[in-house]
Amino acid sequence: MSDPGGRPLRLAVVVNPRSGKGRGARAAATAVAHLRGRGAEVREYGGSSAGDTRALTAEALETTPDALVVVGGDGTLSGIVGLLAAASVPVVLVPAGTGNDLARSLGIPRDDAEAAEAALSGEDRRLDLGVVESGGTDTPFLTVAALGFDARVSDRTNRLRYPKGRLRYYLALVVELIRLRPTPFRIGLDGAEASSRPGTLIAVGNTESYGGGMPICVGARADDGLLDVVHVAPLGRLRLIALFPLLLRGAHLRRAEVTHDRVGSVVVRAPDLVVYADGERVGAGECRIRVQPAALTMRVPRG
């Protein structure tokens, strides 16, 4: 595959080999073989840590490739999105994580070769980013920022030493259900003065889903210049458990205890606030979450 001038396309492939419990390495091998088979010049960059991935991405961008292919999950891409947004190189995602919520929202196929093909024949889309401002740090994110119950579950999961795997998450969920209490949120939308709105959780979405396909922010689009804010009122344990099946179907926004706003920015405060975005802890106590419109160029499959 060559550019209009006849020069072979030069592609950089950044790989997180550990993403998706080792799927990243296998996905990268398939993607690179496909791209080289189609005539592209491919240079691989593979690290063993988040720090390696960031450093290698910076190195790859310095070569000004025609496109940069990221093989990994939402967390891999989120960890380097600041570098990517500052560059003028289109980004292609080969989803190899456990959740892959961004890929789902953009219609990127799970087949590694098909996803990589977008580097050669895809179309460029300008996507928004969310930005969490907390503790003097600005952290960009791609999918959903979680505050309240689900963020505390993630926080407890990370602090537990055992059991391993999904059982650790389920234990954290049970513990937080036992400890369930309303969070005394104070919320201000689009610059309005913050007011008291206690609740169970808040989700601020640049895209619809998190957690591997839970559509918490139904209708959210990554190119509309807005963030979707979903607020769930204080609920008891049984009512919260009853809400989960609706959430999985994307039917929860019809419930009276759920409100949905589309905004350019939101301020949230609470004494025990924990903020997670793209699955990583990014703030506590107080935050401002804003949209950064058309901040990232992604090359995605056509149509």
- Length of the chain, please? 303
The set of residues, in sequence order, having a beta carbon less than 8 Å from that of 73 and lying 6+ positions away, is: 16, 19, 20, 24, 95, 96, 97, 98, 99, 100
Segment (H or E) for 146: strand 144-148
**pLDDT, greater one: 173 or 289:** 289
Predicted confidence at residue 236, as pLDDT, reads 93
Is the confidence at residue 8, as pLDDT, over 90? no
| pLDDT, tens digit, 9 for 90 and up, residues 140-169 | 999 999 999 989 988 888 888 888 766 887
Indicate the burial class of 216 (C-beta count within 10 angstroms; 0-12, 13-18, 19 or more).
buried
The backbone torsions φ and ψ at residue 142, rounded to the nearest 5 degrees and listed phi first, read: -105, -35
Whole-model pTM: value is 0.92
Helix 237-249 and helix 166-178, axial crossing angle in degrees, nearest 10: 140
pLDDT for position 172 = 85
**Tokens linked to 242:** 């009853």
Residues 6+ apart with CB under 8 A from 221: 207
Percentage above 90 pLDDT, the chain: 75
How far is 99 from 211, CA to CA, in rounded Å? 6
Asked if pLDDT for residue 2 goes beyond 70, the answer is no
C-alpha span between 36 and 100 (Å, rounded)? 25
